[in-house]
Amino acid sequence: MDRSVMLAVTVSLVVAGVVTQVSCRRVTNAKVLGFDWKNCGQPDAPAVLKTLALSPDPITIPGDLTASASGTTSVELAAPLAVNVTLEKEVAGFWVKVPCVEELGSCHYEDACEILNQLIPPGQDCPEPLHSYGLPCRCPFKAGSYSLPQSDFYLPNMDLPYWLTNGNYRVQGVLGSQGKELGCLKVALSLHSD
Protein backbone atom coordinates (compact mmCIF):
# COMPACT_ATOMS: atom_id res chain seq x y z
CA MET A 1 0.00 0.00 0.00
CA ASP A 2 1.27 3.50 -0.89
CA ARG A 3 2.71 5.28 2.18
CA SER A 4 0.55 8.39 1.67
CA VAL A 5 -2.59 6.24 1.45
CA MET A 6 -1.55 4.37 4.60
CA LEU A 7 -0.95 7.68 6.40
CA ALA A 8 -4.33 9.02 5.26
CA VAL A 9 -6.09 5.87 6.51
CA THR A 10 -4.25 6.02 9.85
CA VAL A 11 -5.06 9.72 10.31
CA SER A 12 -8.71 9.08 9.41
CA LEU A 13 -8.95 6.32 12.02
CA VAL A 14 -7.34 8.52 14.68
CA VAL A 15 -9.68 11.40 13.90
CA ALA A 16 -12.71 9.09 13.90
CA GLY A 17 -11.62 7.76 17.29
CA VAL A 18 -11.22 11.25 18.66
CA VAL A 19 -14.58 12.35 17.30
CA THR A 20 -16.45 9.46 18.89
CA GLN A 21 -15.35 10.71 22.31
CA VAL A 22 -17.44 13.87 22.12
CA SER A 23 -16.75 15.85 25.22
CA CYS A 24 -17.31 19.57 25.04
CA ARG A 25 -15.30 22.37 26.48
CA ARG A 26 -15.99 26.04 26.87
CA VAL A 27 -14.30 28.03 24.10
CA THR A 28 -12.82 31.25 25.44
CA ASN A 29 -10.27 33.57 23.91
CA ALA A 30 -10.70 31.95 20.50
CA LYS A 31 -9.85 33.48 17.16
CA VAL A 32 -11.31 32.72 13.73
CA LEU A 33 -8.76 33.51 11.03
CA GLY A 34 -8.76 33.38 7.26
CA PHE A 35 -12.55 33.18 6.86
CA ASP A 36 -13.38 32.65 3.18
CA TRP A 37 -16.49 31.55 1.31
CA LYS A 38 -17.74 30.81 -2.18
CA ASN A 39 -20.77 29.40 -3.92
CA CYS A 40 -20.24 25.85 -5.20
CA GLY A 41 -23.54 25.19 -6.94
CA GLN A 42 -24.38 25.29 -10.63
CA PRO A 43 -24.31 28.75 -12.28
CA ASP A 44 -28.12 28.64 -12.54
CA ALA A 45 -28.68 27.45 -8.93
CA PRO A 46 -31.96 28.78 -7.51
CA ALA A 47 -30.46 29.85 -4.14
CA VAL A 48 -27.25 31.91 -4.19
CA LEU A 49 -25.36 33.90 -1.59
CA LYS A 50 -24.26 37.08 -3.39
CA THR A 51 -22.20 38.79 -0.69
CA LEU A 52 -20.94 38.02 2.80
CA ALA A 53 -18.60 40.29 4.73
CA LEU A 54 -17.38 39.67 8.28
CA SER A 55 -15.05 41.80 10.39
CA PRO A 56 -12.78 42.18 12.25
CA ASP A 57 -10.12 39.77 11.03
CA PRO A 58 -9.41 37.79 13.12
CA ILE A 59 -12.83 37.35 14.69
CA THR A 60 -12.56 36.94 18.46
CA ILE A 61 -14.78 34.74 20.65
CA PRO A 62 -16.12 36.19 22.86
CA GLY A 63 -16.28 39.49 21.04
CA ASP A 64 -18.02 41.78 18.63
CA LEU A 65 -18.66 40.86 15.01
CA THR A 66 -19.82 43.07 12.17
CA ALA A 67 -21.56 41.28 9.30
CA SER A 68 -23.42 42.06 6.10
CA ALA A 69 -24.87 39.66 3.54
CA SER A 70 -27.12 39.43 0.53
CA GLY A 71 -28.59 36.58 -1.44
CA THR A 72 -31.36 35.56 -3.79
CA THR A 73 -33.64 32.62 -4.34
CA SER A 74 -35.69 32.13 -7.49
CA VAL A 75 -37.89 29.53 -5.78
CA GLU A 76 -39.68 29.42 -2.45
CA LEU A 77 -37.62 27.60 0.16
CA ALA A 78 -40.14 25.54 2.13
CA ALA A 79 -40.22 22.41 4.27
CA PRO A 80 -38.85 19.86 3.94
CA LEU A 81 -35.56 21.61 3.14
CA ALA A 82 -32.68 19.14 3.30
CA VAL A 83 -29.10 20.20 4.05
CA ASN A 84 -26.05 17.98 3.53
CA VAL A 85 -23.00 19.25 5.42
CA THR A 86 -19.48 17.99 4.79
CA LEU A 87 -16.95 19.07 7.42
CA GLU A 88 -13.24 18.46 6.88
CA LYS A 89 -10.34 19.14 9.21
CA GLU A 90 -6.71 19.37 8.15
CA VAL A 91 -4.67 16.73 9.97
CA ALA A 92 -0.95 16.24 9.23
CA GLY A 93 -1.35 17.94 5.85
CA PHE A 94 -4.37 15.83 4.79
CA TRP A 95 -8.03 16.86 4.69
CA VAL A 96 -10.02 14.36 6.75
CA LYS A 97 -13.81 14.14 6.67
CA VAL A 98 -15.22 14.55 10.18
CA PRO A 99 -18.05 12.04 10.76
CA CYS A 100 -21.46 13.08 12.05
CA VAL A 101 -21.53 12.71 15.84
CA GLU A 102 -24.44 14.04 17.90
CA GLU A 103 -25.66 16.19 14.98
CA LEU A 104 -22.26 17.82 14.50
CA GLY A 105 -19.77 17.13 11.71
CA SER A 106 -20.53 15.77 8.23
CA CYS A 107 -24.27 15.36 8.73
CA HIS A 108 -27.45 15.12 6.68
CA TYR A 109 -30.30 17.19 8.06
CA GLU A 110 -33.68 16.07 6.71
CA ASP A 111 -35.38 19.42 7.32
CA ALA A 112 -33.58 22.66 8.12
CA CYS A 113 -36.99 24.30 8.50
CA GLU A 114 -37.71 22.11 11.55
CA ILE A 115 -34.34 23.02 13.04
CA LEU A 116 -35.15 26.72 12.60
CA ASN A 117 -38.52 26.15 14.30
CA GLN A 118 -36.73 24.57 17.27
CA LEU A 119 -34.31 27.50 17.53
CA ILE A 120 -36.94 30.19 17.03
CA PRO A 121 -40.41 28.79 17.75
CA PRO A 122 -43.25 29.85 15.42
CA GLY A 123 -45.03 32.89 16.83
CA GLN A 124 -41.83 34.28 18.34
CA ASP A 125 -40.31 37.37 16.72
CA CYS A 126 -37.12 36.89 14.73
CA PRO A 127 -34.02 38.00 16.65
CA GLU A 128 -32.38 41.34 16.00
CA PRO A 129 -31.28 42.64 13.60
CA LEU A 130 -33.38 40.38 11.35
CA HIS A 131 -36.59 41.68 12.93
CA SER A 132 -35.66 45.35 12.36
CA TYR A 133 -34.88 44.73 8.69
CA GLY A 134 -37.95 42.57 8.09
CA LEU A 135 -35.88 39.49 7.26
CA PRO A 136 -37.42 36.05 7.84
CA CYS A 137 -35.84 33.55 10.21
CA ARG A 138 -37.99 30.50 9.46
CA CYS A 139 -39.56 28.76 6.49
CA PRO A 140 -40.97 29.41 4.04
CA PHE A 141 -38.52 31.87 2.51
CA LYS A 142 -40.33 33.42 -0.45
CA ALA A 143 -38.60 33.76 -3.81
CA GLY A 144 -36.77 37.07 -4.03
CA SER A 145 -33.74 39.00 -2.85
CA TYR A 146 -32.63 39.30 0.77
CA SER A 147 -30.14 41.76 2.21
CA LEU A 148 -28.71 42.26 5.69
CA PRO A 149 -27.05 45.68 5.93
CA GLN A 150 -23.89 45.98 8.00
CA SER A 151 -24.95 44.90 11.49
CA ASP A 152 -23.23 44.33 14.81
CA PHE A 153 -23.45 41.07 16.76
CA TYR A 154 -21.91 39.82 20.00
CA LEU A 155 -20.36 36.35 19.95
CA PRO A 156 -20.48 34.82 23.45
CA ASN A 157 -18.30 32.02 24.80
CA MET A 158 -19.51 28.70 23.40
CA ASP A 159 -19.24 24.99 24.10
CA LEU A 160 -17.64 22.95 21.33
CA PRO A 161 -16.34 19.39 21.19
CA TYR A 162 -12.64 19.51 22.03
CA TRP A 163 -11.73 18.14 18.58
CA LEU A 164 -13.36 21.18 16.98
CA THR A 165 -11.49 23.88 18.89
CA ASN A 166 -8.19 24.20 17.01
CA GLY A 167 -7.26 23.72 13.38
CA ASN A 168 -8.04 24.45 9.76
CA TYR A 169 -11.53 23.57 8.53
CA ARG A 170 -13.48 23.35 5.29
CA VAL A 171 -17.26 23.12 5.32
CA GLN A 172 -19.58 22.53 2.39
CA GLY A 173 -23.34 22.83 2.70
CA VAL A 174 -25.70 21.66 -0.04
CA LEU A 175 -29.32 22.81 0.16
CA GLY A 176 -31.93 20.63 -1.53
CA SER A 177 -35.60 19.84 -1.81
CA GLN A 178 -37.37 16.84 -3.36
CA GLY A 179 -34.07 15.46 -4.65
CA LYS A 180 -33.10 18.68 -6.42
CA GLU A 181 -30.04 20.75 -5.44
CA LEU A 182 -31.05 24.34 -4.73
CA GLY A 183 -27.70 25.82 -3.70
CA CYS A 184 -24.23 25.06 -2.40
CA LEU A 185 -21.85 27.06 -0.20
CA LYS A 186 -18.23 26.39 0.80
CA VAL A 187 -16.55 28.01 3.81
CA ALA A 188 -12.93 27.79 4.94
CA LEU A 189 -11.48 29.03 8.23
CA SER A 190 -8.91 28.47 10.92
CA LEU A 191 -9.95 28.24 14.57
CA HIS A 192 -7.46 28.80 17.38
CA SER A 193 -8.36 28.81 21.08
CA ASP A 194 -6.58 28.77 24.42
Q: What is the pLDDT of residues 163-177, one digit of tens each?
A: 777 899 999 999 999
Chain segment 126-145, per-residue pLDDT in tens: 999 999 999 999 999 999 99
Segment 56-70 shows an average pLDDT of: 95
pLDDT confidence of residue 22: 43
Residues 6+ apart with CB under 8 A from 134: none
- 157: pLDDT confidence band, cut at 50, 70 and 90? confident
- Taking the C-alpha atoms of residue 90 and residue 168, their distance in angstroms, rounded to an integer, is 5
Least confident of 15-24, 27-36, 48-57, 157-166: 15-24
Q: Given a cut of 50, is residue 98 above it in pLDDT? A: yes
27, β-bridge pairs: 158
Specify the CATH number for 3-192; select among 3.40.190.180, 2.70.220.10, 3.40.710.10, 3.40.47.10: 2.70.220.10
Task: Name which of 49-58, 64-73, 160-169 the model is least confident about.
Answer: 160-169
| Residue 113 reports pLDDT greater than 90 | yes
Report whether pLDDT(116) > 70.
yes
Spell out a b/e string for 65-89, using b for 16 or more CB atoms within 10 Å of the CB, else e: bebebebbbeeebebebbbebbbbb
CB 130 within 8 A of CB 151: no
% of the chain exceeding 70 in pLDDT: 85
Q: Is the Cβ–Cβ distance between 50 and 70 less than 8 Å?
A: yes
Q: How confident is the model at residue 87 (pLDDT cuts 50, 70, 90)?
A: very high
Alpha-carbon gap, residue 106 to 95, rounded angstroms: 13
The structure's pTM equals 0.82
Question: What pLDDT does residue 26 have?
Answer: 60
Does position 25 have pLDDT exceeding 80, yes or no? Answer: no
Domain limits, the chain: 3-192
> Mean of the per-residue pLDDT values for the chain?
86
